[in-house]
């Protein structure tokens, strides 16, 4: 499989995430679109890791071919921590303003 197929696929998923963030108003769905973008990046990193494993540089150099997958693992760790704090913020916001519509969140301005 060509690497271009993986780039196109993860770019499509990333763009769908961007469109979701721009279009939707619900804060929870915006948050889920961020998760989708993180997953698209993870898929691309794993694809590049397997591309590196096939190249002759991988055997000669000191870097491991599994470095990118370690990076994906840390992205998952950070995403889990981010989700717990972000959902706590959304729940607190719902308790205060009784909505999750991001249009009502412009009160910080004034």
Query: Contact positions toward other proteins, by CB under 8 A?
Result: 1-9, 11-13, 15-20, 22-26, 28-29, 31-33, 35-36, 39, 42-43, 46-47, 49-51, 53-54, 64-67, 69-70, 72-74, 76-85, 87-92, 94, 99-101, 103
26's tokens? 């619900």
Rounded to whole angstroms, how far apart are CA atoms 33 and 59? 38
- H-run or E-run covering 88: helix 67-97
Q: Considering the complex, state which of residue 78 and residue 105 has its C-beta at the smaller distance from other proteins.
A: 78
Going by the DSSP 8-state scheme, the letter that residue 98 receives in this structure is S
Minimum distance, C-beta of residue 96 to other proteins, in the bound complex (Å): 11
Minimum distance, C-beta of residue 61 to other proteins, in the bound complex (Å): 13
Q: Considering the complex, state which of residue 103 and residue 110 has its C-beta at the smaller distance from other proteins.
A: 103
- Which burial class, exposed, middle or buried, applies to 23 when counting CB atoms under 10 A from its CB (0-12, 13-18, 19+)? exposed
Which three-class secondary structure state does DSSP give residue 55? Answer: coil
75's tokens? 């992205």
Minimum distance, C-beta of residue 109 to other proteins, in the bound complex (Å): 18
Q: Considering the complex, state which of residue 84 and residue 110 has its C-beta at the smaller distance from other proteins.
A: 84
| Phi–psi pair at 26, nearest 5 degrees | -70, 125
Minimum distance, C-beta of residue 107 to other proteins, in the bound complex (Å): 16
């Amino acid at each position: 499989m060509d690497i271009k197929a993986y780039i196109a696929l993860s770019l499509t998923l990333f763009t769908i995430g961007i469109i979701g963030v721009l279009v939707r108003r619900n804060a929870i769905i915006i948050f889920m679109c961020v998760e989708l973008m993180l997953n698209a990046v993870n898929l691309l990193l794993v694809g590049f890791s397997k591309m590196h494993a096939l190249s002759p540089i991988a055997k000669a150099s000191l870097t491991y071919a599994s470095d990118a997958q370690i990076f994906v693992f840390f992205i998952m760790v950070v995403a889990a921590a981010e989700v717990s704090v972000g959902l706590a913020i959304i729940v607190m916001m719902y308790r205060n303003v009784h909505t999750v519509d991001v249009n009502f969140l412009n009160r910080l301005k004034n």
